[in-house]
């Protein structure tokens, strides 16, 4: 399933290739999707490549080939809010006396923000790790929360909520496009997202740019 931005980029590339036979530049993609930086384009390209929708042609700059287009049912709606993580909590069903199955929704950055990915798989979790409320899981990518014991490859178990108190570790959605796992703090009129790694800097945003998607309820680590 593609996010709205992924589908927009795939359609833009496909249309440009159909009309001119030449892939658009990263700058053209950034402007077409109204992204703030080319790094957002790189993330979208990588996600489409991983899912087999496009491939990069070797030894040719800017060369992309569209391998397939998604079925209509595999594309999110057109509203901007469709990039928000919306876990399917009807799938959080008990599969044993002490184990539950919760939705697993892609990867989340514990370093620089990355696009929030929608997933279709699930994760089996000991019920004791969750407590009350509705939950989903995200795979951690990055090292900025290592001093809080959150490592790359861990699964963050997140309780759904749209509010947070200072000092809580939250899933914060930035500009309705990118999500990150950080400590939540208020700093005057700004929201500050703090890492737990002295090599990373805090991130500050006006409140209207941040949505709380949940707060950390537990961690699952596989060895």
Q: Tens of pLDDT along 16-27?
A: 888 877 788 888
Contact 3, 117 (CB under 8 A): yes
pLDDT tens column, 36-92: 877 788 888 888 887 788 887 765 555 788 888 876 655 544 444 445 555 555 445
Q: Where are the domains of the chain?
A: 4-82, 85-220
pTM of the model: 0.57
Taking alpha carbons only, the member of 75, 55, 57 closest to residue 66 is 55
Catalytic-residue membership of 38? no
What whole-number distance in Å separates Cα of residue 5 and Cα of residue 11? 10
pLDDT tens column, 124-153: 887 777 777 888 888 888 888 999 999 988
Query: Could you say which of 5, 30, 182, 215 is catalytic?
Result: 182
Catalytic-residue membership of 36? no
CATH node for 85-220 = 2.10.109.10
State the chain's maximal CA–CA distance in angstroms.
59
What whole-number distance in Å separates Cα of residue 62 and Cα of residue 22? 8
The CATH architecture that domain 4-82 belongs to is: Orthogonal Bundle (1.10)
Query: Could you say which of 122, 144, 189, 215 is catalytic?
Result: 144
């Amino acid at each position: 399933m593609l996010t709205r931005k992924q589908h927009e980029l795939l359609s833009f590339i496909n249309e440009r290739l159909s009309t001119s036979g030449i892939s658009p530049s990263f700058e053209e993609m950034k402007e077409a999707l109204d992204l703030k930086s080319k790094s957002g384009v790189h993330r979208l390209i990588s996600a489409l490549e991983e899912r087999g929708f496009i491939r990069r042609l070797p030894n040719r700059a800017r060369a992309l080939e569209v391998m397939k287009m998604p079925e209509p049912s595999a594309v999110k709606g057109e509203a901007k809010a469709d990039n928000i993580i919306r876990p399917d909590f009807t799938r959080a069903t008990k599969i044993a006396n002490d184990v539950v199955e919760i939705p697993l929704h892609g990867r989340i950055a514990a370093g620089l923000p990355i696009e929030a990915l929608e997933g279709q798989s699930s994760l089996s979790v000991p019920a004791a790790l969750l407590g009350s409320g509705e939950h989903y899981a995200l795979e951690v990518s990055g090292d900025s929360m290592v001093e809080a014991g959150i490592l790359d490859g861990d699964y963050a178990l997140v309780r759904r909520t749209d509010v947070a108190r200072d000092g809580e570790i939250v899933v914060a959605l930035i500009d309705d496009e990118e999500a990150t796992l950080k400590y939540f703090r208020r700093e005057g009129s700004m929201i500050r997202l703090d890492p737990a790694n002295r090599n990373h800097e805090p991130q500050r945003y006006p409140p209207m740019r941040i949505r709380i998607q949940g707060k950390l309820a537990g961690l699952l680590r596989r060895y």
